[in-house]
Amino acid sequence: MNDTTCSARPPLLTATPTAEPIPANWMGIVSLALGVFGLVTAEFLPASLLTAMAADLNISVGAAGQAVTATAAVAALAALTIPLLTRNFDRRFVLLFLTLLLVVSNALAATANSFFVLIFARVLLGIALGGFWSMAAALAMRMVPDNLFARAMSIVLTGVSVATVCAAPLGAYIGGLWGWRSAFIAASCLSLVTLVTQLFVIPAMPPKDNPSLRILAQLLTRTQVRVVLLAVVLMISGHFAGFTYIRPLLEEVAQLSVSAISAVLLGFGIGGFFGNFAGAFIAERSERNAIIFGGALIIAITITLLFAGSLASVTAVSIALWGFAFGAFPIGFQTWIVRAAPDQVEAAGGLIVAAFQVAIASGAIGGGILVDYFGALGGPLLALITTSLGTFLVLSFGPRTKRPA
């Protein structure tokens, strides 16, 4: 979701000019990118390990999928509340605390001996995830001069693109070799490296902003803000209804081997990586068209999977195209929310983060119910329904202003 923020916001997200530009702290920026990579990787690891986790913990696949739901639900709340609860603390201390939560979460997940321990671990991850995303842009703004902010954010959000490409296939590969717990152990080690790096390169940053609930409430009175948030919930929940339960689909319907599943998930990640650029190209002219493009493609893909998902080659190509289609969503929605609230960009950004997490949680819940009752094609079925509704909403009420190339 977030690797497109910088391209949508350069003219708007700029720090207040100062008399003497601060020196760029590029190592600090890189440490934020490491944090982003670690968080996104940890959030979506269960998608590539779901069946193994369910079997080991003696729970259903749908129940195991709630590991994603718990993270997303808590992250949605944390994105709105962490800035309020920590506004009097040095931002360096808050960042280090959130990264420590990431380390502890992965370690707990790796050693979980019950469903409840796993969910507790994922709740801790949700706090870290939501809190980090609510602070990322503001931290980057304080570590580089104004004219380098866009470049700094592009580096930070590279962590999302790399995690999108690597997390699922690496998780599946490592889990296939040494068990699903080994994937979380690897994620914990990576998070520990990130924590040590941040400890040395992140400077002291006394609190500056004074966020309030009043500003958030005011934003929700704007029609376009409400429409974009509803569109996010519908379309992103549809995506994650399918993505969270992609492993059962590949195993039970397409009947792929572990190595083939890793390859397909890599294709999904690569598709998403290039989809980001395609979405940015379209969104520069019309964010509405970028979202409709992604939605229409996912609708076609889910119909294909429902009727021809048992064909391995068709499924493999469809999953890669699904990743490509989803890549258009973040830039489209980010551009839309910024233009709907240009005077409150950071507060609007918090709302969009919360909406994404609510969508992830609701998609995982709904997909889990359908998968448990109707089999592995339940995820694509729900994705078809909610994505169709969201695409119709954007087609009817989305912004129609077109900008020249």
Computed over every residue of the chain, the mean pLDDT equals 83
The answer to the question of residue 186 being in a domain is yes
- Write the pLDDT tens digit of every residue in 152-200: 766 776 787 778 777 777 888 888 888 889 999 999 999 999 999 999 9
Least confident of 28-32, 67-71, 318-322: 67-71
The answer to the question of residue 237 being in a domain is yes
3-state DSSP percent of the chain in helix, strand and coil, to 5: 80, 0, 20
pLDDT at 402 over 50: yes
Model pLDDT, residue 120: 92
- Write the pLDDT tens digit of every residue in 92-124: 999 999 999 999 999 999 998 888 898 899 999
The answer to the question of residue 405 being in a domain is no
How many domains are contained in the chain?
1
Q: Which pLDDT band holds residue 341 (cuts at 50, 70, 90)?
A: confident
CB 122 within 8 A of CB 71: yes
The answer to the question of residue 402 being in a domain is no
Distance, CA of 269 to CA of 162 (rounded, Å):
8
- Write the pLDDT tens digit of every residue in 219-275: 889 999 999 999 999 999 999 888 888 888 898 888 888 788 878 888 887 888 788
The domain that holds 231 is classified in CATH as 1.20.1250.20
Model pLDDT, residue 274: 82
Model pLDDT, residue 15: 40
Model pLDDT, residue 321: 94
Model pLDDT, residue 17: 42
- Domain range for 75 is 5-397
**pTM of structure:** 0.70
Residues whose CB falls within 8 Å of the CB of residue 178, separated by 6 or more in sequence, listed in order: none
Model pLDDT, residue 268: 86
Rg (C-alpha) for the chain, rounded Å, is 20
Q: Which pLDDT band holds residue 278 (cuts at 50, 70, 90)?
A: confident
pLDDT at 20 over 70: no
The answer to the question of residue 218 being in a domain is yes
Specify the higher pLDDT residue, 244 or 297. Answer: 297
Model pLDDT, residue 47: 74
The answer to the question of residue 169 being in a domain is yes
pLDDT at 66 over 80: no
pLDDT at 203 over 80: yes
Model pLDDT, residue 156: 77
Encode 119-138: b = buried (16+ Cβ within 10 Å), e = exposed. Answer: bbbbbbbbbbbbbbbbbbbb
Report how far apart, in Å, the C-alpha atoms of 364 and of each of 47, 150, 372 are.
10, 33, 12
Can you give 289-302 as a three-state secondary structure string? HHHHHHHHHHHHHH
The answer to the question of residue 403 being in a domain is no
pLDDT at 404 over 60: no
Model pLDDT, residue 151: 66
pLDDT at 5 over 50: no
**pLDDT-above-70 percentage for the chain:** 90
The answer to the question of residue 404 being in a domain is no
CB 32 within 8 A of CB 156: yes
Tell me how many degrees the CA angle 238-241-243 measures, rounded to the nearest 5. Answer: 105
Tokens of 240: 């994650």
Distance, CA of 254 to CA of 111 (rounded, Å):
31
**pLDDT-above-90 percentage for the chain:** 31
